[in-house]
Amino acid sequence: MTYYVIYDGNCNLCVTLVQLLETLDQGKLFQYTPMQDEQKLLQWGITAQDCEQGMILIDGNEPQRRWQGSNAAEEIGRLLPLGVGRRSLL
């Protein structure tokens, strides 16, 4: 199963969060795309206005399942391997 994390590549906090997530996940569950990659966003039907609401998490098996903002962060924390959990993200 793969999840896609759409984040603001111009935001230092977002970039740092993604770097931490990459370390914790080790490429097993998440793939990352900055909001500035307009071609990729078009594939998912995501607009610039959608991005204004914060980070987006997309379920790769069911792309219509999406979380955004703090809901995305909570779902990422839930999906991380046991022992990592939400506290490591915050």
Query: What pLDDT digit, counting tens, does each position of 35-71 carry?
Result: 999 999 999 999 988 999 899 999 999 999 999 999 9
Decide if 3 is inside a domain.
no
For residue 12, what are its two tokens? 């230092």
Let me know if residue 89 belongs to a domain.
Answer: no
Q: Is residue 8 part of a domain?
A: no
In a domain, 88, yes or no: no
Torsion of CA 38, 43, 48, 49, to 10 degrees: 180
Structural domain includes residue 4:
no
Give the separation between CA 52 and CA 21, rounded to whole angstroms: 21
83 class by beta-carbon count within 10 Å (0-12 exposed, 13-18 middle, 19+ buried) = exposed
Number of domains in the chain: 1
Domain assignment present for residue 71? The answer is yes
Provide the edge-to-edge strand list for the sheet that holds 30-34.
30-34, 3-7, 56-59, 66-68
User: Does residue 78 belong to any structural domain of this protein?
Assistant: yes
Domain contains 18: no
To the question of pTM greater than 0.95 for the whole model, the response is no
Whole-number pLDDT of residue 86: 47
